[in-house]
């Protein structure tokens, strides 16, 4: 899920939140990885109609996300 907000014309703020449920690490479904909620943020500033600059932060809360055991 996400939200986009444009407080003034050249600025766009974006917040995305995603949920990763418990899932399996292997093809035999024997190793379970824990679930996690992750939030990402981004701010864009439009320089022209064709160019912009941005800053982004992934995983704002520094949530531990299991990728393998």
Give per-residue pLDDT as tens, 36-55. 999 999 999 999 999 999 99
Stated as kind and residue range, the H or E segment containing 42 is strand 36-46
In the chain, what's the furthest Cα-to-Cα distance?
52
Could you give the percent of the chain with pLDDT greater than 90? 68
Q: pLDDT digit string (tens) for 23-32?
A: 888 888 888 8
Q: What is the pLDDT of residue 66?
A: 85
Average pLDDT, the chain: 93
Q: What pTM, to 2 d.p., does this model score?
A: 0.77
For residues 3-18, give the mean pLDDT: 97
């Amino acid at each position: 899920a996400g939200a986009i907000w444009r407080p003034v014309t050249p600025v766009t703020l974006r917040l995305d939140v995603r949920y990763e449920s418990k899932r399996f690490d292997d093809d035999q479904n024997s190793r379970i990885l824990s679930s996690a909620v992750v939030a990402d943020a981004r701010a864009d500033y439009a320089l022209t109609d064709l160019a912009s600059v941005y800053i982004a932060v992934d995983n704002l809360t520094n949530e531990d996300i299991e990728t393998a055991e």
